[in-house]
Amino acid sequence: GQQVMQIPQYQHVQEGEDFTTYCNSSTTLSNIQWYKQRPGGHPVFLIQLVKSGEVKKQKRLTFQFGEAKKNSSLHITATQTTDVGTYFCAGLSSNTGKLIFGQGTTLQVKP
């Protein structure tokens, strides 16, 4: 079945360093959503990308949707301890209409 692969699974960074997580789908996506789950919390919606090549920014976070609409990335500039958590991408399959979550990237930030 369709899969959405997310890498890396874990990332430890020093506060102030940059961080990137990548999301790849085996099939074309209609859109991609990103969520953040703090430790002990529930996933919280961050953003949705719809257009091929789309780039959106939220303060220090930059989200990109690939030209082929099969991959996406989330980049955090100058990480802070408040960025700690697990970041999930979720791709909406063009074929099945199902929203498939990646396995998530867990970010640890050392102060």
Interface contacts to another protein, rule CB under 8 A: 30-31, 33, 35, 41-45, 48, 88, 90, 92, 97-104
| Shortest distance (Å) from residue 10 CB to another protein | 10
* Residue that has been written with the tokens 């990109």 in this structure: 64
| Shortest distance (Å) from residue 44 CB to another protein | 7
State the Cα–Cα distance between residues 21 and 103, nearest whole angstrom. Answer: 11
Judged by beta carbon, residue 48 or residue 77, the one nearer another protein is: 48
| Shortest distance (Å) from residue 39 CB to another protein | 12
CB 13 within 8 A of CB 77: no
Judged by beta carbon, residue 5 or residue 78, the one nearer another protein is: 5
| Shortest distance (Å) from residue 87 CB to another protein | 11
Judged by beta carbon, residue 50 or residue 68, the one nearer another protein is: 50
Cβ-based neighbour number of residue 95 at 10 Å: 10
State the Cα–Cα distance between residues 5 and 57, nearest whole angstrom. Answer: 22
DSSP reduced 3-state for 93? strand
Phi-psi region of 40 (alpha: psi -120 to 50; beta: other; left: phi over 0): left
Judged by beta carbon, residue 38 or residue 80, the one nearer another protein is: 38
